[in-house]
Structure 1
Amino acid sequence: MQLQCGFCWTDLWKKTKYGEPSTAGTTVACAIIESYRIFIANVGDSTVVLGKSNLNDREPKILAEIITRDHKPGDEEERRRIEALGGSVLNMRVVWERKMVVTTSMTEVYQVHQIPFHNVARRLGDLWSVTENNEYLVSPIPDIYVHYFDWTKDKFLILASDGLWNMLNPQTAVNIVHSLCKDGIKNAAEAGKVASALVDKALYEWDKRNLTADNISVLIVFF
């Protein structure tokens, strides 16, 4: 699968200092739920985690199962893909080497600029990472997974951006959700309060570390 860069409409966008379309990308995680299975897709480091009962324990509890794989430049598969397209990985970031025409008072010369990019290897919307062959160093192509329901175990699904997962590991997040919904979820308002509790906990952890919080988006699907 290969996506083409829309040069016709990106010409209208603000340009970077190198003359490229100045586009801002985003990571994404999504799920399409059917009666007996879920189709799950992600791009970047937005992650999907399943909360499922541990029926083998004397004290039944909810365990976290990570469904998706984060697309990080340090991942071996992603690094090979980036290098094959002429990019490189430095300090866990994608680096793009591109020839640019620089006009001086006398002539035009080519210079090679090393453009440090993101700490994710895939995102939607980073159009200026397109190569001369219309391929993307920061790829918009998702990984897709299929999960088949086990109605005796599967309880809920957490879809969240890295602002949550950088502060809470999956098991901690699942424990918080489980502790707040032991008696069941009666309506959407109650479900929203559970998601807000995860956001509040992540914000607390960011503040405790004296760090500026990354964006935190959380969606919980109860089965």
Structure 2
Amino acid sequence: MGCCVSTRSGSSTYSSGSNGDIVSPSCLEIGFCGQKRARRTFSDNVISLHQLPWLPNKIVTNGKSRSSCIFTQQGQKGVNQDAMIVWEDFMSEDVIFCGVFDGHGPRGHLVARRVRDALPLKLISSLHSCKSRRKRSGKAGFKGNIEPENRESEKDISAEDDLNSTWREAFLKAYKAMDKELKSHPNLNCFCSGSTAVTIVKQGSELFIGSIGDSRAIMGSKDSNDSMLAIQLTVDLKPDLPREAERIKQYKGRVFALQDEPEVLRVWLPFDNAPGLAMARAFGDFCLKKYGVISVPEFYHHALTDRDQFVVIASDGVWDVLSNEEVVEIVSSAPNRSSAARIVVASAAREWKLKYPTSKMDDCAVVCLFFDGKMDLESDCDEQCFSSATIQSNHFGDQIESDDGQKSEPSLPRNYTVRSSVENETNRELSVDVEDGISSVENQNWLSLEGITRVNSLVQLPRFCDEKGPNALS
């Protein structure tokens, strides 16, 4: 069965079948060939990203592409558990996929990398499945007695809603399949490890976003006076949101803050003061999945205008010390676009030292995607120098790159974070519409919390995790 991945760079096209033969470009638009021969999904049959020597339009380490730059820096808490990706020409030339994933727990770095590598393929597979099903149902429901002009008018009216609904369904299915794969992974125990995810698909002038956890996406846009505005695109899904806390309590999970960090609500097992997860939704963390923590993404859709300039996705190591407005200002005033992500991370590192000198800096990962698709033409030498130097720094002490989970893991001691006395801003009550487990939020802006540092996402492992059994940590 032949499958292909679109990896076009400019006018060139790289594709391959499962037997090594060149695949016809006619199948690149949907990324699936030979669909009559089997019912297996795209992610089951596509050539593994690990088997390809390189993809010209997919970057996962510090660097830049035609329209984006990405950068990550290890914090002071051990192995860098952040992962990121930008995949241009994703399915077709006008589609870009980008995401940031923040792992937590003993195997959080492995979970984040696994999600980074597998989720894009699952999204392609889910989208193809949704389109095929809708096409079949559309043909079955057509009666044939409608006037042609009425059919055209109906198509024009429903085209945008249909596209939005299709992507919504695809995100839901992909996230569900991703969590299911993690649960059954033979060598990666995710019982007390997990990852956040903020993923964006830019298709033409449309943004489709799926988000779980407390990583965040914002957009830089110009107002009527050409001044830059910061627009928050996602909600930080933490237990301090009333709707999230209510769901967790309904499933017998507990939500409360420790005495030494009263501003950080955490999720606890009903029978043990563990693990103390600082988010309400995540991949993995199966010790809490029966008690209200879910992997269902919140879905967002945004139609871009000429005033929208760029989007920034980052892990909470950035948002704990920088506001949305500060990040937009940093990116818009960067000396060149290719260094924007690096400057955001450097600014966050500086703020960690200034605001919380006694705290351990968290990992930081940033993706900057510019909507006009134009990057600077400065020498690549400087970019390669800072990328290689930082990559070495990021992976210092990182003993594990693969997701087989067989090498030794860093320990997870309990750390107490020294906090500032600055009071938190009052959380706004967010109005959201929930449909089929996914909420859509539009035309709202959320301010980042000031005066709060990043604490360990997990306080401690449940005591019964040391026992031998199918759910015990290996």
- Partner of 1:117, secondary structure, is strand
Cα distance in 1 for residues equivalent to 2:209 and 2:364: 20
> How far does residue 127 in structure 1 lie from its aligned partner after superposition?
1.7
User: Which letter maps to 1:218?
Assistant: V
> How far does residue 214 in structure 1 lie from its aligned partner after superposition?
1.2
Q: Trace 1:1-223 onto structure 2 (pairs within 5 A).
A: 9=184, 22-55=191-224, 57=225, 60-91=226-257, 92-97=265-270, 112-131=271-290, 137-151=292-306, 153-180=307-334, 190-208=336-354, 209-210=356-357, 211-223=359-371
- Indicate the structure whose relative CO is greater, using CA pairs within 8 Å and at least 6 residues apart: 1
> How far does residue 8 in structure 1 lie from its aligned partner after superposition?
7.8
User: Which letter maps to 2:368?
Assistant: I
> How far does residue 24 in structure 1 lie from its aligned partner after superposition?
1.4
The alignment yields a C-alpha RMSD, in angstroms, of 2.3
Cα distance per residue 1:60-83 (max 9 Å; x no partner): 211000010111101100011101
List alignment gaps of at least 5 residues for structure 1. Answer: 15-20, 98-111, 182-189
- Partner of 2:311, secondary structure, is strand
Cα distance in 1 for residues equivalent to 2:185 and 2:273: 22
8 Å contact from structure 1 (residues 13, 22) kept in 2: no
Cα distance per residue 1:33-67 (max 9 Å; x no partner): 01121101111111110100012x3xx21100001
Cα distance in 2 for residues equivalent to 1:215 and 1:8: 25
- Partner of 1:197, secondary structure, is helix
8 Å contact from structure 1 (residues 71, 120) kept in 2: yes
Distance 1:118 1:160, change over 3 A: same
8 Å contact from structure 1 (residues 94, 121) kept in 2: yes
User: Which letter maps to 1:123?
Assistant: A
TM-score, normalised on structure 1?
Answer: 0.76
Cα distance in 2 for residues equivalent to 1:81 and 1:8: 22
- Partner of 2:333, secondary structure, is helix
TM-score, normalised on structure 2?
Answer: 0.37
List alignment gaps of at least 5 residues for structure 2. Answer: 1-171, 258-264, 372-474
Deviating beyond 6 angstroms after TM superposition, the runs of 4 or more aligned structure 1 residues are none
Q: How many residues align?
A: 187
8 Å contact from structure 2 (residues 183, 286) kept in 1: no
Tell me the percent identity.
Answer: 28
Distance 1:117 1:137, change over 3 A: farther
User: Which letter maps to 1:125?
Assistant: G
Higher strand fraction: Structure 1 or Structure 2? 1
- Partner of 1:128, secondary structure, is coil
Distance 1:95 1:32, change over 3 A: same
> How far does residue 167 in structure 1 lie from its aligned partner after superposition?
0.6
Distance 1:192 1:24, change over 3 A: farther
